[in-house]
Amino acid sequence: MAQISLTFPDGNVRDFAKGVTPAEVAESIAISLAKKAISATVNGTHWDLQWPIEADATIAINTMSDEAPALELIRHDLAHIMARAVQELWPDVKVTIGPVIENGWYYDFDRKEPFTPEDLGAIEAKMKDIINARDPVRTEVWSREKAVAYYKERGEEYKVELVGMIPDDGQPIRMYWHGDWQDLCRGPHLQNTGQVPNNSFKLMSVAGAYWRGDSDRAMLQRIYGVGFKDPKALKAHLTMLEEAAKRDHRKLGREMDLFHMQEEAPGQIFWHPNGWKIYTTLQDYMRRQQEEDGYVEVNTPQVVNRKLWEASGHWDNYQDNMFIVEVDEEHAREKTLNALKPMNCPCHVQVFNQGLKSYRDLPLRMAEFGSCNRYEPSGALHGIMRVRGFTQDDAHIFCTDEQVEEETKKFVTFLAKIYAHLGFDQWKVKLSTRPEKRVGTEESWDKAEADLANGIRAAGYDFEIQEGEGAFYGPKLEFVLTDAIGRDWQCGTLQIDPNLPERLDANYIGQDGAKHRPVMLHRAVLGSFERFIGILIESHAGKLPFWLAPRQVVVTTIVSEADDYANDVVAALKAAGVRAEADTRNEKINYKVREHSLGKVPVILAVGAREIDEKTVSVRRLGEKQTAVMSLDDIVAELKLAACPPDLK
RNA sequence: GCUGCUGUAGCUCAGAGGUAGAGCACUCCCUUGGUAAGGGAGAGGUCGAGAGUUCAAUUCUCUCCAGCAGCACCA
């Protein structure tokens, strides 16, 4: 019989019969290992214990203490167990696909009636029965024809389609049995359903999802679940979800009195004084930064005739997502159609096109806090993060081909400084390269992609590549920052666009005296103020850095005799540039401290008879229990510095 | 936009085929209290909008609007 050599993690090499399974390998090492084994890693691939190994390979036997394979198997088996439970409860339900995702899995079903929360409870109970039955998991390799015939007979048309989509490149079509129930699956799986912990998973929600992610195809019902190795990990996950919910900017926005939204203006924000203070503080900061970095600021119209949008190409491509404004002008034969601007670039080209530009004017960095409106699909709206009216920290850099790399470097450096100022020290760059459908020559794409890559490197950063994700006219950079609880947000962007200058006929006079086409770089650091403020709120759980906090200090009185002194303290703080207010209400100090703590005011000062006598204040910082007594002069000096934006320190 | 769920006082929520309730917030009074809710009184609602069924609809049905979760979308 043919032999193969298997290399173990410790470097040992042993010979086995060709076609040996990892289960047999484990058994040959120790019965105890065979009992604990859940899967193997063969040549770096996650491998079922039942799959034969046909050639020399490296092998490692996995047990439940191997975190990554264990969780993958548990979640994958839970997906199958859930599908089986659903079909046992409702035999007419059709199964589709059920992959492992972060923290759990989902499975999509085709069923006429919606699943209710009570159904989820029933499914969960049935899943526990299946686990407790410890059904053996068995796998077989089937021919394509057999699999198709099997599913056709059962009316599982989604599975028929899935079998048809498996590429015919020799990879086996596998069937897995959990007891009597069977599913098409590439595996691997655990060896019996009882290996799945029966107390460490939870079905979370049910929602619609399109078959194959295509909005033109059937709407299925997706059930989400989370699964872990032990109840403690499940509990920790659920606690984390509660923590994330507490940070929800919609909830904090109300509690901190930052903004509200209402039916009459869906997807648009009514900023309250507190929220607007954050907004303007951030905008003032960005304006200073841009001026320092060589930008000029402009402002362009909100309502623009369709002619410009036709010229820019937006009318054809995005009309459904634009707010159209019909103007019925007096004496006009026809009504004119206009659109609220969904972006600023066409208008910026209009500014550029005024007067003749020389190569000496380039690079021209044109910035606008551009207020845009887009008719986003109703289902896309989310608090202040995804809205129909927003303001970008937008700018377009008009430059020559030769200047692209240097401008890229300059921008990355600029963005890095701003993210650092705003407290985001963890972020990454993604380079999206040429898509299948594109315009321009291969040489121009080669150069554009190289310019971006070199620009990032020159700024001292590394990047990931997103193959084929660029715009049809040029490659782009995406800047993704990580917030305080580890969530990623794409905020900044830099896109090379030779297309729009062409369409809108922008040009400059070169050194040779002839007309040339500039390149346009679209770029933003924050993305939109609305969304970025949402991210700031959630990342900080409402406890914004002092300089951005809308209410920085409240001076509370303990007795009404201290009212005058409190007002003096407020005046001193205001004179030092600190946002301060007095709370002289007829309430107890406990009450005031609680209220302002919930309002996320970073510093609460309390004053009573002692403080008046000593010209001091009692200082309580947000999140701290203990208080400290400080002289008025000291606290004013300290907070004056804290209130100073990071670029002015 | 699609699937499902939701819409009752400023907020969080209860309620029932006979036109409404709690807690907090708000106003006033008492209380001057030393670091996360002192006490009392009062005011506050076209029950998301429209139509239908009914003697009677906030409650049942339909349509619309908005919100939530997910999907799709995000120039």
Catalytic residue of the set A174, A314, A374, A388? A374
pTM exceeds cut of 0.90: yes
ipTM of predicted assembly, 2 dp: 0.95
Please name the residue whose C-alpha is nearest to the C1' of nucleotide B33: A588
Give A169's pLDDT tier (boundaries 50, 70, 90). confident
DSSP A191: S
User: Over the stretch A445-455, which tens digit does the pLDDT of each residue have?
Assistant: 999 999 999 99
A332 band by pLDDT with thresholds 50, 70 and 90 = low
Closest CA to A473 of A449, A456, A497: A497
Output the pLDDT for position A126: 95
**Nucleotides of chain B within 7 Å of a protein C-beta?**
1-5, 7, 11-12, 30-38, 65-75
Residues 6+ apart with CB under 8 A from A376: A267, A321, A386, A387, A388
* Interatomic separation, CA of residue A621 and C1' of nucleotide B31, rounded (Å): 28
Query: What does the pLDDT read at residue A328?
Result: 77
Query: Which segments of A are annotated as binding site for Zn(2+)?
Result: 345, 396, 522
- Binding site as annotated, residues of A: 345, 396, 522
Options A119, A393, A394, A583, the catalytic residue? A394
pLDDT at A34 over 70: yes
Q: Average pLDDT in the A474-482 region?
A: 96
Position A331 confidence tier, pLDDT thresholds 50, 70, 90: low
Helix (H, G, I), strand (E, B) or coil at A51: coil
C-alpha span between A215 and A169 (Å, rounded): 29
At A29, the pLDDT band (50, 70, 90 cuts) reads very high
CA→C1' distance for A118 and B47 (Å):
27
Whether A522 is catalytic is yes
Instruction: State the Cα–Cα distance between residues A554 and A212, nearest whole angstrom.
Output: 55
Confidence at A336, pLDDT banded by 50, 70, 90 = confident
Q: How far is the C-alpha of A64 from the C-alpha of A273, rounded, in Å?
A: 54
Q: Is A345 a catalytic residue?
A: yes
Task: Give per-residue pLDDT as tens, A185-234.
Answer: 988 999 999 999 999 999 999 999 999 999 999 999 999 999 999 999 99
Instruction: Report the distance from CA of residue A376 to the C1' of nucleotide B67 in Å, as an integer.
Output: 16
- A289, A290, A392, A552: the catalytic one is A392
Summarize pLDDT for A413-438 with one digit per residue, the tens. 999 999 999 999 999 999 999 999 89
**Which protein residue's Cα is closest to nucleotide B24 at C1'?**
A595
> What residue has token string 């167990």?
A81
The spacing between the Cα labelled CA in A246 and the C1' in B34, in angstroms, equals 30
- Do residues A291 and A311 lie in contact, with contact meaning Cβ atoms separated by under 8 Å? no
* Protein residue nearest nucleotide B12, by CA to C1': A251
Residue tagged active-site, from A222, A290, A314, A345? A345
**pLDDT value at A330 more than 80:** no
| Average pLDDT over chain A, rounded to an integer | 95
Mean pLDDT along residues A512-519: 97
Q: Cα(A600)–Cα(A274) distance, rounded to whole angstroms?
A: 11
- In Å, what is the separation between the CA of A580 and the C1' of B51? 53
Q: Give the domains, in start order, of chain A with CATH numbers.
A: 3-63 (3.10.20.30), 68-245 (3.30.980.10), 263-298+343-539 (3.30.930.10), 303-340 (no CATH), 553-648 (3.40.50.800)
Known active-site residue A396:
yes
Residue A374 is among the residues annotated as catalytic for this protein: yes
A221: annotated active-site residue: no
SS3 per residue for A60-108: EEEECCCHHHHHHHHHHHHHHHHHHHHHHHCCCCEECCCCEECCEEEEE
φ, ψ of residue A191 in degrees (nearest 5): -90, -25
Q: Which of A277, A357, A476, A596 is catalytic?
A: A476
pLDDT digits (tens, 9 = 90+) for A343-392: 999 999 999 999 999 999 999 999 999 999 999 999 999 999 999 999 99
Does A70 have pLDDT greater than 70?
A: yes
For A301-322, letters b (16+ CB in 10 Å) and e give ebebebebbeebebbeebbeeb
Listed range (A69-78, A166-175, A529-538, A554-563) with the worst mean pLDDT: A166-175
Nearest nucleotide (C1') to the CA of residue A314? B75
Instruction: Measure, in angstroms, how far nucleotide B44 C1' is from residue A271 CA.
Output: 25
